[in-house]
A and B are shown apart, each in its own frame.
Chain A
Amino acid sequence: MTVLSLFSLLFLAALSSFASATSDYQESLVLQPLPQSALLASFNFQGNDSQESFDERHFRYFPRALGQILRHANTKELHLRFTTGRWDAESWGPRPWNGTKEGGTGVELWAWIDAVDDEAAFAKWITLTQSLSGLFCASLNFIDSTRTTRPVASFEPAGTHASSGNLHLLHGTLPGEVVCTENLTPFLKLLPCKGKAGVASLLDGHKLFDASWQSMSVDVRPICTQTGDCVVQIDQSVDIVLDIDRSKRPRENPIPRPVPNEQLVCDTSKPYHSDDTCYPLERTSEKGWGLSEIFGRSISGSCPLAEGSADGTVCLRVPHERDVQVPSGVVEVQKSDGYTRCYTLEPSTPFDLTIPEQEATSQVPLDEPVLRAERTIVGHGQERGGMRIIFDNPSDTKAVDFIYFETLPWFLRPYVHTLQATITGHDGQHHQAPASQFIKETFYRPAIDRERGTQLELALSVPAASTVTLTYDFEKAILRYTEYPPDANRGFNVAPAVIKLGSSNGGAASYPIYIRTTSLLLPLPTPDFSMPYNVIILTSTVIALAFGSIFNLLVRRFVTAEEASAMRAQTLKSRLGGRIIALRDRLKGKTTKTE
């Protein structure tokens, strides 16, 4: 057995070294403590397969399950995102990967599909969503025509495509989808080491989904070099922001009970400080943490299939003067930027990393976000509402150009003519400005009831040191009563807007930055479903039964058939006959009485 496994390992190692020329597999983990006792952990897994072997259905690092789906659906490039929570840009700074590897709340999917026309592309798209739905245990099959859009300017293919003539970009979101462990398990199954070894072994559903923010992404794209060698690359990443305090709580006792009195950290300088009065002291030192403390387990060695990168697999971004404890024998590489150090994992040697509590001297500097965006629903009432989008450009010198893209469900009917802009300088002065001053280009595709949603793409420019507020009014449609979901009174989710900064056609940033707003909850006029059923149906039935039977007994007069015919009788003969019968009955009655 040992021999066999050794042999297979050797074989695999040989295979990987053999294949490294054309296809390889890499994984990495970057850990960065953020302010307010948060910790960002970015996992990245990248696998390549050559285009030829992909076309021959020969999958090595590319997961077979996904590869078959992509081939079946003629999908050339795929981007799938599972996200929960919101990125707190104010505290945490810019987004990991510049926001390119995250989606809006819920599930977001976009893909370039090779098809002759739009209809064929949509048919393939439906195939794709249905198959992915099964693969990832997500309700992706609910992405129907009302949730599908074809963005014009917001997304660009990340891979190299020979001819983009037949490629169709389709985009769909499910803002209400709850991402949880059932999505993580198939995600991990796509990895060559299946989460058993390598950095993926840290990914535990309990900890991952207790994070303040987490995003899982799957990107598939073809990449061609100048020489014409093409590879199909799958790039999977998991980014999570963990609350260190919360994650350090033991699983058997996760309740944040009030701390015992003696553990309170009090400001003893206060004059009123006593045994039973405590003004809490702000903590100045950085909290200590360790991988096994936070993730509940340590990394069980490197994935044997992964190629060790030169820098090391696990990187930590803390100032170099911070004390970091690692198992002996682990190679540490300190980068020259003064903040990054990386560790190389050894196969089948557990790796753990501990940072003791230490007085904070310096922090890893966080970049200022390029743009802040906030989208809210304003107004109240059942009929009308308004949307307010605030773009804040914190830079004092540079204007920001970006594409704003939003898809609205059909039951939210925007009045685009009410689109208005207000600009506020950082001095607090408001100016009503024509929207055309900021909007350079507009792409608007109105909704069709029950068929497709509204698609709005705006090319905007926000001047330096100012805040632009866009507002527009909308009307809430009244749904048919069968169209309401079971939790109708919760409201309806509106997908987050996508903001794309910088484009490939020049500008300072040659790579795009993506920002997504939070999703919204739209309350629609909702009938009181319980009332008609309970009250009308039940009471009518009861009243009908009770009233009918009792009224019948009280009012109805039963007459004999003879009598009835006697009543109807109009002719002399029948009248006479009736008389006779009546006479007979009377006689009979008398006889019975005498009995």
Chain B
Amino acid sequence: MATPAALPPLPFNPSRVRSYVLRLPLFTRLVLLAIILFWLFELQTVWSVVQWGSLIPEEIGIGTMYRLNTYPFIHVGFFHAFLNLLAVTPLLERFEAEHGTLTAVALFFGPLSTFPAGLYILFEKFALHRNTAVTGASVWVFLLLGSEAIRTFKSNPYFSLGPYKIPTWTSPLFACGLVSILVPNTSLLGHLCAIFVGYLLGLGYLKVLVPPEWGLRWVEGKLNLLGRLPHYVSVDQKTYGRYGVLPTTNAGGERATPMSYLGSSQRLASIRKLRSNPHFLFVHLPHILSFICIVAGVVWLLLLPLNDYSRQTYISENALLPGQVHAYFSGSEQHIFRGYKKELEAILTSQTPEGQESRSDEYTPVVSDKIQSILRAAGLKVATQKYEYTSSGITHQGQNVYAIIQAPRGDATEAIVLVAAWKTVDDELNLNGVSLALTLAGYFKRWSLWSKDIIFLFPPDSKSGTQAWIDAYHDMQPAFVQPLPLKSGALQGGLVIEYPFDHRFESLHILYDGVNGQLPNLDLFNTAVSIAGGQMGIGSNLQEMWDHDDSYERRLQTILRGMVKQGFGYATGAHSSFMPYHIDAITLQPKGEGWQDEMALGRTIEGLCRSLNNLLEHLHQSFFFYLLMQTNRFVSIGTYLPSAMLIAVNFTIMAIALWLRTGYYAGSKQSIVTPSASADEKKEAYVETTKSDASTAQPAIKPDTNSIRERHLALPLTLVVSLHLLGLIPLYIFNNISHQYYPSATYASIVLNAVLPVVLAASLTHGLTTPREPHQYLLIKSFSLLVLGLFLSTLATLNFSLSFMIGLLCTPLSFVNRIDPQTTSGPVRYVLSVLGLAFLNVLSPPIVLLGACWYFGVDVETVLTQAAFGWDVWGMWTQVVVWCVWWPAWVIGCALLGFSLF
């Protein structure tokens, strides 16, 4: 009886999906499994499954006939496989349910694979003389769509679109056209062949190929397939009629209920079962979900270097026109360059005290005066700026020299900055770079095409000088930094020149990371790569990847190096200081031994300046959030963001679950026990919960009786808020004490970190007179994780890498719980909690810092001095995240374990 209830309701229902998936018939399951297996096989690199099994017209011979059958199972990528799976499952399920498993096997391993393949090869090889390989289950999708369409056509011949009548059998053709337009690299011909065969099938011309029913029955009966195979669809069990007859017309009232709508009672039962098991819903499910989120987040990141997820870089801002102009910087300019260099060298030699072996490279007032006089002679407006910063007891002072080429006909509205620091990032003497900038200043002055002022900035070092200058340029300078006497307009871009050695170079290393992980517009980076590579023939590197062979490992390594720099958020060069003011800047560092000389670098900079000069608007077209894995490949924020978001979401899921659990699910006293950090504990807890479930199943079945319980919020809220505020103390200490105390402060904080949670737990347990509800522990954790999750997901949009790193380090906190004294006996509890505390202490902020310092082979004092300098001068806030977000969450995690001791 076809009742309206049999029609599928449209609203999406997850449990329906689940039951649908659980009831998929046998052959469909096998096909899905095969597709997934083949896709997994393809992940390894030794044996190319696609090459082995896809339908390549030229490869088809007697020995390779298997390809006619294997190609539907093989897919070229995850999305290909996934989408085809989605599409083929309902169609195949329907076919199998109608015709029985045996028929489906016979047809799909036989004619329904080989016929479209044969047809395709016929056309491709003999009519078109091409050799395009095809693969994928989409052939079955379109074949089945074709046969479905014919059936639809028989019952409902036309779509009425206004006055036009469109035959319904054409719908697969539309779908096919749409797919070939929308999805790249689809074989239109292959799909058309499939649709054609599908039409034949639908029209019943392929009936002859169907094995006779008596034969099938005989096989089925002999082998007792129905009894042996699960999910087997018998020949008799099939629900619909044979080809060409609309099932509903002949089934009539006595038609058996379709297979797929069977089991509604079963589904209800499963939901009821789930409901009757709130322990699973509130305790296990969040853990599972959190864990899945973490794994998915990490796997997502690992997928990014693949070609499917990354993109080729491109110049988005058309005004840049990189490499479209001839660079004239050559010839006699090189003589002038040598002249300036010798002049500066002479000063350095003269200022070196007698008898000293090495030359004194200090940036003295004599050097500054020389630079000024050279710039003045070239006709530029010159000014200086003194600055002084004090951080960790170290004073950084210096004098910036800068000069402006006022754009002819310009009106001081826009400017480009060229920076040549006296000392490079690595504290080497940047003599060639400074000489080159001086030569370029004289050379640029002669051109009349500049639409923007060009500012040449010569800071004494790469760390503080640019920062002082750019702060003062925006009138945001602190007290000990002089204001600028000479200014220009809005800065549109910055280039930093470094050339700290005397020999010729091979390639350009481009630094692009800014303070706090801000990045310059991708267009600027692309322009540099394109001008250096395309016009000058200079290769480029990034992230110190000198031998990048474009393999997966190298790409991943490049991404990770970029993420580490971004996550730490320190200034990687003189260009970094520009980024907070929304000025895009990069550093160009020549590297290696090659045959490119300083003039080639000069021409590259000339080309870059010409490109920037072309800009009508501030750089805005391209991406500001990206991960670079190669000079010409990147992932944009839309693709990589889910990775950090998933990790952040794991905390939020756990927090919400805990909140719900404290309010709605009381369970029994015993069932509050949750799996703890260690696996043993988990297992034990599971055993415990099943036991307790059995005993408490009766009251839990009636959810309505679980009235909303009152939560005691005062203690958890106070604790979480005060711990976050407490983070300000280490933040202040680590940014304000003198640099020689940093190592001892670190060790002291390790000890304090080990003691603090236990003391906290002890004092809260014994110090408070009011009895504590067990759910308060859960609330403490809930609030802490809620704050962590919210903060990390917000941070992910600003500094993806930092959010990802902190998120990963915090993952154990999702699974750490107080071990309930009532469920776990004394000694086991103590051992477990002490083990857990030891494990968490390894992941404490200071120990992670020590570990990282040991791994990278740097001094803790240097790192912390640098960090304090970043906080004081660059406005870096990595420490805030560490001390006010990570550390409080960590302390609460430890305290929860500490509670189990008392």
Q: A557 vs B2: C-alpha distance in the bound complex, in angstroms?
A: 12
Q: Among the listed B245, B251, B336, B413, which residue makes an inter-chain contact with A278, where contact means beta carbons less than 8 Å apart?
A: B336
Minimum distance in angstroms from B182 CB to a CB of chain A? 6
B 1-55 contacts with A by CB, 8 A? 2-4, 7-8, 10
Residue numbers in A under 8 Å from B336 (CB-CB): 264, 278-280
Q: A263 vs B538: C-alpha distance in the bound complex, in angstroms?
A: 31
Annotate A257-280 by CB proximity to B: 1 below 8 A, 0 otherwise. 111110110110011110011111
Annotate B341-357 by CB proximity to A: 1 below 8 A, 0 otherwise. 01100100000000000
Please tell me if the beta carbons of A380 and B330 are within 8 angstroms of each other in the complex: no
Q: A84 vs B251: C-alpha distance in the bound complex, in angstroms?
A: 87
Minimum distance in angstroms from B252 CB to a CB of chain A? 3
Minimum distance in angstroms from B583 CB to a CB of chain A? 9
Annotate A8-44 by CB proximity to B: 1 below 8 A, 0 otherwise. 0000000000000000000000000000100000000
Stretch at the interface among B107-115, B305-313, B616-624, B852-860: B616-624
Tell yes or no: B340 within 8 A of A by CB: yes
Please tell me if the beta carbons of B487 and A374 are within 8 angstroms of each other in the complex: yes
Residue numbers in B under 8 Å from A88 (CB-CB): 406
Please tell me if the beta carbons of A567 and B4 are within 8 angstroms of each other in the complex: yes
- Please give me the residue from chain B that is nearest to A247 by CB atom: B448
Q: Among the listed B249, B342, B476, which residue makes an inter-chain contact with A272, where contact means beta carbons less than 8 Å apart?
A: B342
Minimum distance in angstroms from A139 CB to a CB of chain B? 17
Please tell me if the beta carbons of B335 and A246 are within 8 angstroms of each other in the complex: no
Residue numbers in A under 8 Å from B164 (CB-CB): none
Tell yes or no: A378 within 8 A of B by CB: yes
Tell yes or no: B270 within 8 A of A by CB: no
Annotate A220-253 by CB proximity to B: 1 below 8 A, 0 otherwise. 0000000000000000000000010110000000
Residue among B152, B175, B411 with the most chain A CB within 10 A?
B411
| Given A88-B406, A590-B250: A278 in contact with B411 (beta carbons within 8 A) | no
- Please give me the residue from chain B that is nearest to A271 by CB atom: B346
Q: A490 vs B156: C-alpha distance in the bound complex, in angstroms?
A: 59
Tell yes or no: A282 within 8 A of B by CB: yes
Please tell me if the beta carbons of A282 and B377 are within 8 angstroms of each other in the complex: yes
Minimum distance in angstroms from B145 CB to a CB of chain A? 6
Q: Among the listed B175, B250, B339, which residue makes an inter-chain contact with A550, where contact means beta carbons less than 8 Å apart?
A: B175
Please tell me if the beta carbons of A558 and B331 are within 8 angstroms of each other in the complex: no
Minimum distance in angstroms from B392 CB to a CB of chain A? 27
Q: Among the listed B171, B241, B413, which residue makes an inter-chain contact with A589, where contact means beta carbons less than 8 Å apart?
A: B241
- Please give me the residue from chain A that is nearest to B484 by CB atom: A376
| Given A245-B446, A270-B339: A585 in contact with B411 (beta carbons within 8 A) | no
Q: Among the listed A257, A546, A563, A566, which residue makes an inter-chain contact with B328, where contact means beta carbons less than 8 Å apart?
A: A257
Q: Among the listed A210, A257, A523, A558, which residue makes an inter-chain contact with B156, where contact means beta carbons less than 8 Å apart?
A: A558
Minimum distance in angstroms from B259 CB to a CB of chain A? 14
- Please give me the residue from chain B that is nearest to A490 by CB atom: B617
- Please give me the residue from chain A that is nearest to B378 by CB atom: A280
Residue numbers in B under 8 Å from A578 (CB-CB): 253
Tell yes or no: B333 within 8 A of A by CB: yes
Please tell me if the beta carbons of B618 and A523 are within 8 angstroms of each other in the complex: yes
Residue among A245, A246, A277, A555 with the most chain B CB within 10 A?
A277
Stretch at the interface among A185-193, A395-403, A514-522: A514-522
Q: A280 vs B329: C-alpha distance in the bound complex, in angstroms?
A: 16
Q: A386 vs B476: C-alpha distance in the bound complex, in angstroms?
A: 11
Annotate B140-167 by CB proximity to A: 1 below 8 A, 0 otherwise. 0000010011001001100000000000
Interface residue tally on A, bucketed by range: 35 or more
- Please give me the residue from chain B that is nearest to A550 by CB atom: B175
Residue among A245, A258, A264, A490 with the most chain B CB within 10 A?
A258
A 416-445 contacts with B by CB, 8 A? none
| Given A86-B412, A386-B475: A549 in contact with B171 (beta carbons within 8 A) | yes
Q: A320 vs B210: C-alpha distance in the bound complex, in angstroms?
A: 114
- Please give me the residue from chain A that is nearest to B172 by CB atom: A553
Q: Among the listed B242, B248, B334, B616, which residue makes an inter-chain contact with A490, where contact means beta carbons less than 8 Å apart?
A: B616
Q: A546 vs B83: C-alpha distance in the bound complex, in angstroms?
A: 12
A 160-174 contacts with B by CB, 8 A? none
| Given A86-B412, A243-B408, A545-B178: A260 in contact with B331 (beta carbons within 8 A) | yes
- Please give me the residue from chain B that is nearest to A558 by CB atom: B156
Please tell me if the beta carbons of A379 and B476 are within 8 angstroms of each other in the complex: yes
Minimum distance in angstroms from A382 CB to a CB of chain B? 9
Residue among A86, A388, A582 with the most chain B CB within 10 A?
A582
Minimum distance in angstroms from A277 CB to a CB of chain B? 4
Please tell me if the beta carbons of B332 and A260 are within 8 angstroms of each other in the complex: yes
A 69-110 contacts with B by CB, 8 A? 84-86, 88, 90, 105
Q: A523 vs B618: C-alpha distance in the bound complex, in angstroms?
A: 9
Minimum distance in angstroms from A524 CB to a CB of chain B? 11
Minimum distance in angstroms from A237 CB to a CB of chain B? 19
Tell yes or no: A554 within 8 A of B by CB: yes
Q: How many A-B residue pairs have CB under 8 A?
A: 202
Residue numbers in A under 8 Å from B7 (CB-CB): 557
Please tell me if the beta carbons of B411 and A554 are within 8 angstroms of each other in the complex: no
Annotate B230-246 by CB proximity to A: 1 below 8 A, 0 otherwise. 00000000000110111
Please tell me if the beta carbons of B333 and A258 are within 8 angstroms of each other in the complex: yes
Residue numbers in A under 8 Å from B333 (CB-CB): 258
Tell yes or no: B554 within 8 A of A by CB: no
B 786-815 contacts with A by CB, 8 A? none
- Please give me the residue from chain B that is nearest to A209 by CB atom: B409
Please tell me if the beta carbons of B620 and A380 are within 8 angstroms of each other in the complex: no
Q: A583 vs B250: C-alpha distance in the bound complex, in angstroms?
A: 8
Please tell me if the beta carbons of A380 and B335 are within 8 angstroms of each other in the complex: no
Annotate A196-228 by CB proximity to B: 1 below 8 A, 0 otherwise. 000000000000011111100000000000000
Q: A84 vs B448: C-alpha distance in the bound complex, in angstroms?
A: 14
Please tell me if the beta carbons of B340 and A279 are within 8 angstroms of each other in the complex: yes
Q: A550 vs B414: C-alpha distance in the bound complex, in angstroms?
A: 53
Annotate B703-746 by CB proximity to A: 1 below 8 A, 0 otherwise. 00000000000000000000000000000000000000000000
Please tell me if the beta carbons of B346 and A560 are within 8 angstroms of each other in the complex: no
Please tell me if the beta carbons of A546 and B178 are within 8 angstroms of each other in the complex: yes
Minimum distance in angstroms from B326 CB to a CB of chain A? 9
Q: A593 vs B245: C-alpha distance in the bound complex, in angstroms?
A: 8
- Please give me the residue from chain B that is nearest to A178 by CB atom: B409
Q: A88 vs B410: C-alpha distance in the bound complex, in angstroms?
A: 12
- Please give me the residue from chain B that is nearest to A374 by CB atom: B487
Q: Among the listed A279, A380, A488, which residue makes an inter-chain contact with B474, where contact means beta carbons less than 8 Å apart?
A: A380
Please tell me if the beta carbons of B475 and A521 are within 8 angstroms of each other in the complex: no
Please tell me if the beta carbons of A489 and B411 are within 8 angstroms of each other in the complex: no
Please tell me if the beta carbons of A489 and B338 are within 8 angstroms of each other in the complex: no
Q: Among the listed B246, B252, B443, which residue makes an inter-chain contact with A258, where contact means beta carbons less than 8 Å apart?
A: B443
Residue numbers in A under 8 Å from B87 (CB-CB): 550, 554
B 253-283 contacts with A by CB, 8 A? 253
Residue numbers in B under 8 Å from A566 (CB-CB): 2
Tell yes or no: B633 within 8 A of A by CB: no
Please tell me if the beta carbons of B489 and A521 are within 8 angstroms of each other in the complex: yes
Please tell me if the beta carbons of A277 and B338 are within 8 angstroms of each other in the complex: yes
Residue numbers in B under 8 Å from A376 (CB-CB): 475, 487
Residue numbers in B under 8 Å from A586 (CB-CB): 250-252
Please tell me if the beta carbons of B250 and A487 are within 8 angstroms of each other in the complex: no
Q: A264 vs B149: C-alpha distance in the bound complex, in angstroms?
A: 83
Tell yes or no: A491 within 8 A of B by CB: yes
Tell yes or no: A354 within 8 A of B by CB: no
- Please give me the residue from chain A that is nearest to B487 by CB atom: A376
Residue numbers in B under 8 Å from A245 (CB-CB): 446
Tell yes or no: B214 within 8 A of A by CB: no
Residue among A257, A379, A386, A528 with the most chain B CB within 10 A?
A257
Residue numbers in B under 8 Å from A141 (CB-CB): none
Instruction: Give 11 pairs: A residue, B residue, CB < 8 Å, sorted on A.
Output: A36-B379, A85-B408, A86-B411, A257-B328, A264-B336, A270-B339, A276-B335, A277-B342, A278-B335, A280-B336, A379-B474
Sample of 15 further A-B pairs with CB below 8 A, known A553-B148, A559-B155 = A84-B409, A85-B411, A212-B408, A254-B448, A256-B446, A272-B342, A276-B334, A380-B474, A487-B616, A553-B145, A555-B10, A558-B152, A578-B253, A582-B252, A585-B252
7 closest residue pairs by CB, A with B: A589-B250, A582-B252, A378-B475, A279-B339, A489-B617, A256-B446, A278-B335
